[in-house]
């Protein structure tokens, strides 16, 4: 446990001292904040039109802030995560290899599991900060409207689980190369393929389509955004995370074996 704590604090310090984390957090916050403004402004316009024009009110139906603001916002946050998280994970092992500190890390009295978990928790710590900075947007919704807080809580659970899946895949890609750009590109390409597989399901057969829909990584966020914590979605993200952490450990073991 001491070794894990040592590596976790080392990772967090390196991220805090690195401009990459600050830039990624800033860009993530600006993009999600901008899209929240667009979504909320559109909802406000729709509400005003519905109050002044009965025909518009009939067209929109019952305007619910959870349905028209909270759920679309979680969807946008998930997409921005897909773009930004590879930039957090790209340096995890690639930088260690390039600077030559990977060999030093492997000589520490650390198990492969502790090394992987320490890197993973360090990235999750930065990701938790990124998510926390989105909460003021929903707090504003709570102040001005009456959102369903259960839906908001479930949505954040879904984002945390999906983020852990993104990070585990990014760690694995970072363990394969010493070039951070290549690690980020591999992570982003893999996530895009997993994201687009849901759209490809419509052009495949019934059985293949169901498989493609299931492996589409962002599709499982939809039930969380509806306020439902489905065990099948939870299991998907947990198994996805465990699988890629396991692959990262195997990659690290091969590095030890090659010396």
19-39: string of b/e by CB count within 10 Å (b at 16+)?
Answer: ebbeebbeebbebbeebbeeb
- The residue-averaged pLDDT of 60-67 equals 72
Q: Establish how many alpha carbons lie within 13 A of residue 179's alpha carbon, considering only the half-sphere containing its beta carbon.
A: 4
| Predicted local distance difference test score (pLDDT) of residue 11 | 76
| Predicted local distance difference test score (pLDDT) of residue 55 | 62
| Predicted local distance difference test score (pLDDT) of residue 33 | 94
Rounded Cα distance between 187 and 210, Å, is 24
| Predicted local distance difference test score (pLDDT) of residue 257 | 55
What three-state secondary structure class fits 31? helix
| Predicted local distance difference test score (pLDDT) of residue 145 | 78
- The residue-averaged pLDDT of 218-225 equals 88
- Entry pTM: 0.89
Rounded Cα distance between 63 and 249, Å, is 49
Pair of tokens at residue 34: 């901008």
205 in the Ramachandran plot: left (φ > 0), alpha (ψ -120 to 50) or beta?
A: beta
Q: Write the pLDDT tens digit of every residue in 118-132.
A: 889 989 999 999 999
Higher pLDDT, 46 or 233: 233
Q: Write the pLDDT tens digit of every residue in 7-49.
A: 777 777 777 777 888 899 999 999 999 999 999 988 888 777 7
Rounded Cα distance between 88 and 115, Å, is 17
**Rounded alpha-carbon distances, angstroms, from residue 48 to 16, 142, 163:** 44, 19, 36
- Closest by CA position to 135, among listed 239, 56, 36, 38: 36
Task: Please state, rounded to an integer, the average pLDDT across all residues of the chain.
Answer: 83
CA Rg value for the chain: 21
Instruction: Pick the range with the lowest mean pLDDT from 98-107, 176-185, 195-204.
Output: 98-107
pLDDT level of residue 1 (50, 70, 90 thresholds): low
């Amino acid at each position: 446990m001491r070794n894990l704590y040592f590596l976790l604090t080392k990772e967090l310090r390196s991220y805090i001292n690195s401009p990459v984390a600050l830039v990624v957090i800033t860009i993530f916050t600006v993009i999600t904040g901008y899209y929240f403004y667009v979504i909320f402004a559109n909802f406000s316009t729709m509400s005003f039109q519905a109050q002044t024009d009965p025909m518009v009110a009939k067209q929109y139906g019952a305007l619910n802030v959870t349905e028209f603001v909270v759920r679309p916002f979680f969807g946008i946050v998930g997409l921005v995560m897909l773009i930004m998280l590879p930039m957090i994970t790209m340096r995890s092992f690639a930088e260690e290899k390039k600077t030559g500190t990977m060999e030093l890390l492997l000589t520490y009295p650390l198990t492969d599991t502790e090394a992987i978990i320490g890197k993973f928790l360090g990235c999750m710590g930065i990701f938790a900060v990124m998510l926390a900075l989105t909460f003021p947007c929903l707090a504003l919704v709570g102040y001005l409207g009456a959102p369903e807080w259960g839906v908001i809580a479930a949505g954040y659970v879904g984002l945390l689980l999906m983020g852990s899946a993104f990070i585990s895949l990014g760690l694995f890609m970072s363990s394969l190369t010493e070039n951070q750009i290549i690690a980020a590109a591999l992570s982003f390409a893999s996530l895009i393929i997993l994201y687009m597989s849901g759209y490809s399901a419509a052009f495949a057969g019934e059985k293949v389509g169901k498989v493609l829909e299931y492996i589409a990584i962002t599709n499982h966020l939809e039930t969380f955004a509806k306020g439902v914590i489905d065990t099948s979605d939870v299991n998907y993200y947990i198994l996805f995370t465990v699988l890629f952490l396991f692959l990262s450990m195997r990659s690290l073991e091969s590095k030890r074996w090659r010396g």
